Amino acid sequence: MRWNLRLTAANKGIWKASELQRGLAEHGLVISAGKMSGLWSGQPVSLKLEDLDVICVVLGCEIGDLLIPEPEKVSHPGQAEETERAAVGAGTAAPKVIPKRRDGRSLPPE
């Protein structure tokens, strides 16, 4: 998912994080400056569903305006195996595994 808060806010005429922060506070969602900065400029690690409701009310938007799906980033079963087979088929050898002793030293040659 891609977080799209800034563009959604800009489309509603809100250009600064502090403007949105005030609007959220008016609706009962008090956010610290640090958390607001993270929401505004980055991708939030976690966000309560109740907070998303307030953000949508303040911005007059739908959840689909804030969260943009990116299905192309989802790996599919067997995708890693296909990529590995394609690399080997293209003449790229898999990295050689060199066994080592538990103390980190190499084993003597056979």
Q: What is the Cα–Cα distance from 58 to 39, expressed in whole angstroms?
A: 15
Q: Which residues in 53-85 are b (16+ Cβ under 10 Å) and which e?
A: ebbbebbebeeebbbeeeeeeeeeeeeeeeeee
Domains and CATH numbers, the chain: 2-72 (1.10.260)
Sequence-distant (≥ 6) Cβ neighbours of residue 68 within 8 angstroms: 1, 2, 4
Give the model's pLDDT for residue 15.
96
Q: How far apart are CA 34 and CA 60, in angstroms?
A: 24
In 3D, which of 67, 62, 56, 63 has the Cα closest to residue 20? Answer: 56
| pLDDT tens for each residue of the chain, 110 residues long | 899 999 999 999 999 999 999 999 999 999 999 999 999 998 888 899 999 999 999 999 999 999 999 999 888 787 666 666 665 556 656 666 666 777 767 666 66
- Cβ within 8 Å of residue 15, ≥6 positions away: 9
